């Protein structure tokens, strides 16, 4: 069944909802849901999304949405569909352009307006080690000193990790909850949920309804949707491949690494007669370097070494993933 509404994670869909002149009330409402009450936006003006360096040799930045509020504060809003190298570095680099463009010729006291960089991410950072950070949706970052005190409060990075947003319709509490639910599930809606009956969301659904698009808009959206699906397929395949490799690595050597060969549920296995833990006849057990699949002979060599050292069949099966009858034949 064809979707009734656009996918907001496409370039076309995101800019259709938030990046057009008629979309200003929607963008203002969304940004105000992210900001403290004393920083609320009354009006916005869209600015050129292509920022050029000061010289021909400088790199340029192209934002999804770049706007300025009534106080001259700058807002960069980016939709990031797939993880890429140095994404955080890129947002920091982007923030330098609205900072530098405030410089005035001649005498200038360096008084700067605030800059906000907002990233809507269709992935998670996956590098937070502590709870609850790795499960949080909203991450707000400012420049702070070693004591956690804000050193400079006019540069703010806001990241929204959409995969971490898992609230159901009856669990939505804040305005931001509603916007995140809208963005995450828009393409799946067949009717407008009752929680979205106010004027702003009614306008958002009207802008997102495919039946109201002309042929040119529909063609542009279909093209943008194809790019989104192709990129997502590549990303999902790479993610699954990495998961499969990691799983196989865990079965083959990660088990030997994780199971101390000196212990297995309190059973002393004993020393492998000169074979160091982590090495089996020159084979590094602690490393596979990503190429596990297809190396059956390496697995057999590990099994042979363990068997010759008197290790039980059960432990060899657990360490190598081989069947007992295969091990018996060695």
List, for residues 111-151, the tens digit of each pLDDT value.
999 999 999 999 988 766 666 677 899 999 999 999 999 99
pLDDT band at 277 (very low <50, low <70, confident <90, very high): very low
Give me the residue label for tokens 């993610």. 239
pLDDT band at 309 (very low <50, low <70, confident <90, very high): low
Q: Nearest-CA neighbor of 138 among 158, 115, 116, 168?
A: 158
Average pLDDT for the chain: 81
> Is the separation of the CB atoms in 314 and 274 below 8 Å?
no
185-239: per-residue pLDDT in tens?
A: 999 999 999 999 899 999 999 999 999 999 999 999 999 999 888 877 776 766 6
User: Is the pTM higher than 0.85?
Assistant: no
Give me the residue label for tokens 């982590």. 278
Strand 50-51 versus strand 115-121 pairing type: unpaired
Q: Residue 163 has which token pair?
A: 């995969």
Residue 65 in 3-state DSSP? strand
Q: What is the pLDDT of residue 56?
A: 66
**Residue 207 main-chain phi, psi, to 5 deg:** -70, -25
Give me the residue label for tokens 């000169």. 274
Q: Residue 291 has which token pair?
A: 């190429």
> Is the separation of the CB atoms in 319 and 259 below 8 Å?
yes
**Residue 247 main-chain phi, psi, to 5 deg:** -65, -45
More confident site: 276 or 243: 243
Residue 257: pLDDT over 50:
no
């Amino acid at each position: 069944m064809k979707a009734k509404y656009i996918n907001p994670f496409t370039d076309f869909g995101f800019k259709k909802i938030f990046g057009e002149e008629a979309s200003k009330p929607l963008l203002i409402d969304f940004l105000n849901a992210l900001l403290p009450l004393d920083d609320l936006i009354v009006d916005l003006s869209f600015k050129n999304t292509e920022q050029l360096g000061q010289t021909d040799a400088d790199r340029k930045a192209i934002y999804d949405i770049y706007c300025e509020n009534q106080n001259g504060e700058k807002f960069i809003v980016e939709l990031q569909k797939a993880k890429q190298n140095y994404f955080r570095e890129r947002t920091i680099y982007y923030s330098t352009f609205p900072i530098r463009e405030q410089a005035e010729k001649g005498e200038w006291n360096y008084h700067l307006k605030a800059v906000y960089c907002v990233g809507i991410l269709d992935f998670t950072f996956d590098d937070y080690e502590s709870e609850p950070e790795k499960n949080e949706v909203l991450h707000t970052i400012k420049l702070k000193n070693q004591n956690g005190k804000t050193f400079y409060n006019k540069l703010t990075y806001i990241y929204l990790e959409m995969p971490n947003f898992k609230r159901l319709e009856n669990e939505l509490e804040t305005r931001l909850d509603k916007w995140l639910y809208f963005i995450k599930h828009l393409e799946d809606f067949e009717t407008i949920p009752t929680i979205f009956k106010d004027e702003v969301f009614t306008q958002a659904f009207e802008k997102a309804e495919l039946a109201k698009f002309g042929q040119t808009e529909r063609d542009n959206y279909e093209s943008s949707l194809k790019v989104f699906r192709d990129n997502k397929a590549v990303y999902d395949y790479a993610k699954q491949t990495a998961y499969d490799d990691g799983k196989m690595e865990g079965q083959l050597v990660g088990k030997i690494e994780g199971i101390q060969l000196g212990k297995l549920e309190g059973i002393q296995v004993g020393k492998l007669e000169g074979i160091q833990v982590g090495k089996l006849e020159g084979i590094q057990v602690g490393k596979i370097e990503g190429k596990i699949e297809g190396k059956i002979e390496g697995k057999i060599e590990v099994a042979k070494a363990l068997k010759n050292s008197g290790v039980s069949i059960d432990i060899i099966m657990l360490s190598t993933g081989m069947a007992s009858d295969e091990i018996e034949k060695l």
